[in-house]
C-alpha cells in the first residue's frame, strides 16, 4: 500500500499480533542496480535482522519488467539478508502500469516466467522468492497461465489478489477463482482482496480453498483483525480491539511520524490512517472530522492528544 503502509505503520500493526509475515511497499526497479541505502530506506527492518520490533519478518518487494536488472537488484538486496524477496505483479495503478510495472505484465506470462527464473537464479538458495499477482489485466483468461509461469519460474509461494487490474478495488473479490489457481499449481497460494472482517476471512478461505490470507486495507481499517483471526483459528474467544486499546498505537504512530516524516506531511499521515479506521471505529470518524483541518504539527499533536486522552506533557 504505497504511501501508507510503510515501515512506520508496519511497526504498529505487527505489534498488535496475529501477523506471520509482512511484505514491504514496492521498490521500483528501472534500468540500474540500486544502492543498498535505497533498500534500507524503504525497508529499514533490514538493518535490524529483517524483522519488525515484534519479530515479524518483512520481505522487500521488487517491481519492474527487466529480468536481468531485477535479478541484479535481487542479488544486491540478498546481501542484506532478508528472510525472503517478493515480486509485484499486482499493482493496478495507472502511473505504475504505464511504465510496465505491476499488473499490466499479466498480459505477458512469458515475461513473468523470465523474471521469476532470473531472480530465483540470482538469489542464494536459502532466500525464498515469492510473488503477488491479480486475476489478469482486463479479464481472467490468462490467470492460470500467469500462475504457472511464476510457479515454474521459481516462486515458492503465490499471493493472488482476487480481482483483475480493470476491477481495481471494486467489490466483490472473486475468491472462487483463486481456488482454480490453487488447484493448478504445486506451490502454496495465499488469497487476498476484500477481507475486512473475520467473517470475510472465513468466507475467503471457503471459496479460495486457501488456508493462508494476505490482509491489506482490512488490517489498516481494523488493526485487530489479524489477532482476531488468529484467536478464531486457535479456538479462543475472538477479541475486538476497542478505540481505547487502539489509542496507544495511534499515539506511538504519531511519534514515529514526527521523527521520520517532514513536518508538512506529518498530520496528513495520521489522517490517512484515521480515514481507514472510520470504517470500524465511530470514534475515528469523529476524530477525523475534528482533525482534518488541523495541519501544523504542534497543533495537530495537541489535538490528537486531546482525542486520545494523552497527557499534554507527553506531546
73 is in an annotated binding site: no
What pLDDT, in 10s, does the model give residues 85-130?
Answer: 999 999 999 999 999 999 999 999 999 999 999 999 999 999 999 9
What pLDDT, in 10s, does the model give residues 289-311?
Answer: 999 999 999 999 999 999 999 87
The yes-or-no verdict on residue 58 having pLDDT over 90 is yes
Instruction: Look up 91 and say whether it is catalytic.
Output: yes
Which sequence spans correspond to the domains of the chain? 7-233, 243-310
HEC assignment per residue over 107-161: HCHHHHHHHHHHHHHHCCCCCCEEEEECCCCCCCCCHHHHHHHHHHHCCCEEEEE
Crossing angle between the packed helical segments 297-308 and 282-291, to the nearest 10 degrees? 150
For domain 7-233, the question of CATH label 3.40.50.720 is answered with no
**CA–CA gap between residue 148 and residue 141 (Å, rounded):** 13
61 is in an annotated binding site: yes
Catalytic position from the list 91, 95, 146, 210: 91
**CA–CA gap between residue 15 and residue 21 (Å, rounded):** 12
Q: Encode burial over 222-261: b for 16+ CB neighbours within 10 A, e otherwise.
A: bbbbbbbbbbbeeeeeeeebebeebbebbbebbebbbeeb
193 is in an annotated binding site: yes
182 is in an annotated binding site: no
Is the pTM above the cut of 0.85?
Answer: yes
Amino acid at each position: 500500500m504505497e504511501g501508507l503502509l510503510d515501515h512506520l505503520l508496519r511497526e504498529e500493526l505487527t505489534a498488535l499480533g496475529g501477523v506471520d509475515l509482512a511484505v514491504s511497499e514496492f521498490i521500483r526497479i528501472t534500468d540500474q542496480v540500486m544502492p543498498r541505502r535505497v533498500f534500507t530506506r524503504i525497508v529499514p527492518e533490514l538493518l535490524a535482522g529483517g524483522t519488525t520490533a515484534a519479530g515479524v519478518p518483512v520481505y522487500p518487494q521488487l517491481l519492474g519488467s527487466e529480468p536481468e536488472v531485477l535479478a541484479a537488484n535481487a542479488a544486491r538486496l540478498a546481501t542484506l539478508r532478508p528472510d525472503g524477496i517478493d515480486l509485484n505483479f499486482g499493482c493496478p495503478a495507472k502511473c505504475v502500469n504505464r511504465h510496465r510495472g505491476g499488473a499490466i505484465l499479466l498480459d505477458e506470462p512469458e515475461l513473468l516466467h523470465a523474471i521469476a527464473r532470473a531472480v530465483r537464479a540470482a538469489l542464494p538458495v536459502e532466500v525464498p522468492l515469492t510473488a503477488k499477482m491479480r486475476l489478469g489485466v482486463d479479464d481472467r483468461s490468462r490467470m492460470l497461465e500467469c500462475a504457472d509461469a511464476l510457479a515454474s519460474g521459481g516462486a515458492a509461494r503465490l499471493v493472488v489478489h482476487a480481482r483483475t487490474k480493470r476491477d481495481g478495488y471494486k467489490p466483490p473479490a472473486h475468491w472462487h477463482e483463486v481456488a482454480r489457481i490453487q488447484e493448478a499449481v504445486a506451490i502454496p497460494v495465499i488469497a487476498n482482496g476484500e477481507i475486512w472482517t473475520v467473517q470475510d476471512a472465513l468466507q475467503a478461505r471457503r471459496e479460495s480453498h486457501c488456508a493462508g490470507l494476505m490482509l491489506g486495507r482490512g488490517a489498516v481499517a481494523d488493526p485487530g483483525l489479524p489477532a482476531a483471526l488468529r484467536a478464531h483459528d486457535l479456538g479462543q474467544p475472538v477479541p475486538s480491539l476497542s478505540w481505547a486499546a487502539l489509542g496507544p498505537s495511534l499515539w506511538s504512530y504519531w511519534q514515529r511520524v514526527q521523527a521520520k516524516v517532514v513536518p508538512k506531511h506529518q498530520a496528513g499521515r495520521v489522517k490517512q490512517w484515521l480515514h481507514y479506521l472510520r470504517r470500524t471505529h465511530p470514534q475515528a470518524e469523529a476524530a477525523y472530522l475534528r482533525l482534518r483541518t488541523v495541519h501544523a504539527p504542534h497543533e495537530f499533536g495537541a489535538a490528537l492528544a486531546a482525542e486520545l486522552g494523552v497527557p499534554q506533557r507527553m506531546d
